[in-house]
Amino acid sequence: MAENFEPHHILVTGAAGFIGSNFAHYVAREHPEVHVTVLDKLTYAGNIHNLDGIPEGQMDFVHGDICDAELLDRIVPGCDAIVHYAAESHNDNSIADPEPFVQTNVVGTFRLLEAARKYDVRYHHISTDEVYGDLALDDPERFHEGSPYKPSSPYSSSKAASDHLVRAWARTYGLRATISNCSNNYGPYQHVEKFIPRQITNVLCGIRPKLYGDGKNVRDWIHTEDHSSAVWTILTKGEIGETYLIGADGEKSNIDVLRLILAHMGKAADDFDWVRDRPGHDRRYAIDSTKLRTELGWAPKHTDFESGLDATIAWYRENEDWWRPVKEATEAKYAKQGQ
């Protein structure tokens, strides 16, 4: 077991986005002695208001790009850890235009690794289970830390490349680094382009939800607060150079999730439209988080998916001012793609 690491000042990249902002709130709430510097480019997926409520003295916000080496030279010194969430992450966007994914996810990670090496800062890398490709629907297997990499989209291949960079910097340069690969997150502050908030906000807007392909694709869902607690556990207790998979045993098919949303929002089970499948649509993701649970003692708290979904629906009902400004443009983009 590694000695516990006690950070005092962490740089969190991409913390104006969905899972990054939830992590910043988690640290502020659970570890008020820790100062957070947020670095975010504020692309369409970032919203500075996602950080509202974090005490002013506990957080600094820097508007900038992780690819900017000079900027990193100014803000990394004085931090004792980098937690790297910043990423282009939407599969459909990566298929339409892969270049930003390579730039942010590969080049940006390289810049952060070099800064962490230069200033001897601990580094935790947030990745995805999508680097492992997909599993057959009838396969009893789940992804684990030794699963081979088989990314299938420009997004997942760019994240796979960044994972390999982290391992190389840890082995070659002795960088104090850890990696986590997580399953699909849900919860507050998620952009309306993503599956669960898109369906919820469609219902709230009186638009019929849409479902890709046959709807049998399986995702392994985890509440974003459980992801945050797992990342903190790995950052403070994880073994240097190790990878940990984060999951909460939440496998559900897309059609089952959609029907749960419809039921919880008072709609009929068939009140949606089928649309053509997206290219290379992964069939099933499933995470085996045994290593994280047994070696570091982590466990998820949000194990009842339906109650977590209810709370998420309630959040989108109560925060229309947050998502309505981007809803119309998001749906217009999908309509152009026939989705």
Query: What digits encode the pLDDT tens for the residues 294-319?
Result: 999 999 999 999 999 999 999 999 99
Residue 334 has a pLDDT of 76
Per DSSP, what are the bridge partners of residue 284? 218
Burial class (CB in 10 A: 0-12, 13-18, 19+), 31: middle
Sheet with 218-223, edge to edge strand ranges: 184-186, 218-223, 251-253
Tokens at 293, concatenated: 């649970």
Residue 280 has a pLDDT of 76
Burial class (CB in 10 A: 0-12, 13-18, 19+), 252: middle
| 3-state secondary structure (DSSP) of residue 236 | helix
Candidate list 40, 65, 88, 130, residue with the active-site label: 130
End-to-end CA distance of the chain: 48
What is the tens place of the pLDDT at every residue in 60-111?
999 999 999 999 999 999 999 999 999 998 777 888 899 999 999 999 999 9
Count Cα atoms within 13 angstroms, Cβ side, for 288: 12
Candidate list 85, 123, 132, 155, residue with the active-site label: 155
Question: Annotated catalytic, 119?
Answer: no
Q: What percent of the chain has pLDDT over 70?
A: 99
Q: Which of 331, 329, 319 is nearest to 187 (CA)?
A: 319
What is d(CA 156, CA 4) in angstroms, rounded to the nearest whole number? Answer: 31
Residue 192 has a pLDDT of 95
Q: Read off the DSSP letter of residue 143.
A: B
Candidate list 40, 65, 88, 129, residue with the active-site label: 129
Residue 122 has a pLDDT of 98
Residue 276 has a pLDDT of 85
Question: Annotated catalytic, 129?
Answer: yes
DSSP calls for 47-88: -GGGGTTS-GGGEEEEE--TT-HHHHHHHSTT-SEEEE----
What is d(CA 144, CA 132) in angstroms, rounded to the nearest whole number? Answer: 9
The CA-atom distances, in angstroms, between 221 and each of 184, 246, 260, 317, 326 are: 5, 10, 14, 21, 24
pLDDT band at 2, cuts 50/70/90? Answer: low
Residue 332 has a pLDDT of 86
In the predicted model, what is the mean pLDDT of residues 229-253?
A: 97
Average pLDDT, the chain: 95
Query: Rounded to 5 degrees, what are φ and ψ at 244?
Result: -130, 130
Residue 174 has a pLDDT of 98
